[in-house]
């Protein structure tokens, strides 16, 4: 017997794979949406389309077919990326476009999916970023994209957004996640301030179970100090 049904957008990344694993261990049926299949998920949808609208049409159509009218407990968007560059740098516009595609496109498609398929009282989590609550001069495109995701969360929490009744819409705002790639490229960094992937996954599981939920529209910062993580809103 399944504990429920969740959709993970970006279930093949480091955080996404951990989230899929934690929800599977908790007996949830998991639908993964990504550029690659997850062998842990119950169903996979491969993202296709060169434009924002093409991706939305293809993903939404495939999800509707996979769910066959069934409602889901959570939409968890973990897709994203990182690129640096100040507004003065030659790569600013190129990297800003890349960040928009990797963060805003999947977040907005996830919002559409949540408005269509989420149960009353369901959970929608989008990927924000702690640095983007203020200026990000050395990674301006990244900051712009994440700030747009934050604004989308504010809009989704409003009763006129179309999200199902009593649903939770939040963004998680990590600083640095403890991923294999971060350990590879920042090998000399203080990892005691990095947030473990398992903490983030367990947090989403609690919210999906309607436990310890913040207010809808919250930007939930993940603060890790001396290896201990806490949340602030």
Whole-angstrom distance, CA of residue 168 vs CA of residue 210: 9
- Which tokens belong to 160? 């006129």
| Catalytic positions, written as ranges | 142
Whole-angstrom distance, CA of residue 192 vs CA of residue 151: 30
Upper half-sphere CA count for residue 207 (Cβ side, 13 Å) = 29
Whole-angstrom distance, CA of residue 93 vs CA of residue 228: 37
């Amino acid at each position: 017997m399944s504990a429920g049904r969740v959709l993970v957008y970006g279930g093949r990344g480091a955080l996404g794979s951990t989230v899929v694993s934690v929800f599977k261990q908790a007996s949830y049926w998991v639908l993964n949406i990504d550029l690659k299949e997850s062998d842990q998920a119950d169903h996979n949808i491969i993202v296709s389309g060169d434009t924002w609208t093409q991706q939305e049409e293809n993903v939404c159509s495939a999800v509707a077919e996979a769910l066959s009218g069934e409602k889901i407990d959570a939409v968890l968007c973990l897709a994203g990326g990182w690129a640096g560059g100040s507004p003065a740098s030659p790569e600013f516009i190129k990297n800003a476009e890349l960040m928009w595609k990797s963060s805003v496109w999947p977040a907005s498609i996830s919002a559409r999916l949540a408005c269509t398929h989420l149960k009353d009282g369901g959970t929608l989590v989008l990927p924000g970023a702690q640095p983007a609550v203020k200026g990000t001069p050395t990674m301006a495109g990244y900051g712009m994209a994440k700030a747009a995701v934050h604004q989308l969360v504010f809009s989704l929490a409003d009763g006129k957004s179309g999200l199902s009744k009593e649903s939770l819409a939040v963004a998680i705002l990590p600083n640095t996640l403890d991923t294999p790639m971060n350990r590879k490229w920042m090998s000399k960094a203080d990892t005691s301030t990095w947030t473990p992937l398992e903490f983030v996954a367990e947090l989403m599981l609690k919210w999906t179970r309607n436990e310890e939920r913040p207010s809808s529209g919250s930007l939930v910062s993940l603060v890790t100090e001396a290896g201990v993580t806490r949340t602030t809103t």
